[in-house]
Structure 1
Amino acid sequence: MSLSPFHLAIPVYDLPAARDFYGRVFGLAEGRSSDHWVDFDFFGHQLVIHEHPKTASQEAAHTNAVDGHDVPVPHFGVVLEWERWEALAQRLREFGTQFVIEPYIRFQGQVGEQATMFLFDPCGNALEFKAFKDIGQLFAK
């Protein structure tokens, strides 16, 4: 599977805290930056954090029920290889990350079985990271 990198720009109301979170906690390499924004290599994709006043979704997240959990909406993230997902979950635990939904296996024993976890960055942006044992089931019904 060959994918093109995506570009995603998100608002952050505390640029230093968000820069530390994505750089130190996640261990993402920093690219270009200014006094108001920072580029990161987000698992091969371009994530840009832009200084911006707090948004409504950062103030109070909406949720939808999925597999017995309240999933924050909106959210973003990436699908990782299984071992890389496990390593990220361990790294986040070591940094004392407070998860919205703890790392677990969703849809266990069903089509689309996946590992997933949800958390917020310091500015209230919801993130999801997932992995599939069989990446061929990424869009399976």
Structure 2
Amino acid sequence: MRDMHDACHIAIPARDLDEAVDYYVFGIGAKMARRYDDRVTFDFFGDQLVCHLSEDIPDEAVMYPRHFGVSFARAEDFDRLLRLVEHRKLKVLAGPALRFEGTAEQHRTIALVDPSNNVLEFKNYDDPRLQF
């Protein structure tokens, strides 16, 4: 039912909206769409990410059970993100790594941490049909 003009909506807590803008716009390259006193909305690789000002921030970054990100269909897009992470010295929780090596589900992955301890995972499957 979703077509290419639809966007998935993701909402996460943020302790400081200026930090969120710095990280998402100037860190990983998202585009700011709107900003209000209590939230900021980004175009996050074609989907809608909203950082809501909150005091309920995790004490530490933990991958499971909650994280979000992008499964890139093209290896060059994943490689471009890796270069950006290295160049901008973004905080890495895990990786880059190769998971499920030697299986049909083999993929590269990296987990990042934003300033509010939200975990972002980016992937690239050898077979892009397996990203779902």
**Which residue matches 2:50?**
48
Partners of 1:82 and 1:7 lie apart in 2 by 25
Higher relative contact order (CA 8 A, sep 6+): 2
Mapping for residues 70-81 of structure 1, pairs under 5 Å? 71-80=63-72, 81=74
**What is the CA-CA distance between 1:72 and the residue it aligns to?**
3.9
Q: Which amino acid aligns with 1:47?
A: L
Pairing 1:94–2:92 present: no
SS of the residue aligned with 2:101?
coil
**Which residue matches 1:60?**
60
Is the 1:61–1:73 contact (alpha carbons within 8 Å) kept by the matching residues of 2? no
**What is the CA-CA distance between 1:138 and the residue it aligns to?**
2.8
SS of the residue aligned with 1:73?
coil
Check 1:125–1:35 CA distance in 2 against 1; reply closer, same or farther (3 A cut): same
**What is the CA-CA distance between 1:137 and the residue it aligns to?**
2.3
| Identity %, equivalent residues | 34
Partners of 1:100 and 1:111 lie apart in 2 by 25
SS of the residue aligned with 1:137?
helix
Is the 2:28–2:85 contact (alpha carbons within 8 Å) kept by the matching residues of 1? yes
**Which residue matches 1:66?**
none
**Which residue matches 2:76?**
83
**What is the CA-CA distance between 1:116 and the residue it aligns to?**
0.4
Q: How many residues align?
A: 129
**Which residue matches 1:110?**
103
Unaligned runs of 5+ in 2: none
- Give runs of ≥4 in structure 1 deviating > 3 Å: none
Is the 1:102–1:117 contact (alpha carbons within 8 Å) kept by the matching residues of 2? yes
Is the 2:107–2:123 contact (alpha carbons within 8 Å) kept by the matching residues of 1? yes
RMSD between superposed Cα atoms in Å: 1.8
SS of the residue aligned with 2:78?
helix
**Which residue matches 1:26?**
28
Partners of 1:36 and 1:19 lie apart in 2 by 13
**What is the CA-CA distance between 1:47 and the residue it aligns to?**
0.4
Unaligned runs of 5+ in 1: 63-70
**Which residue matches 2:117?**
124
The TM-score, its normalising length taken from structure 1, stands at 0.83
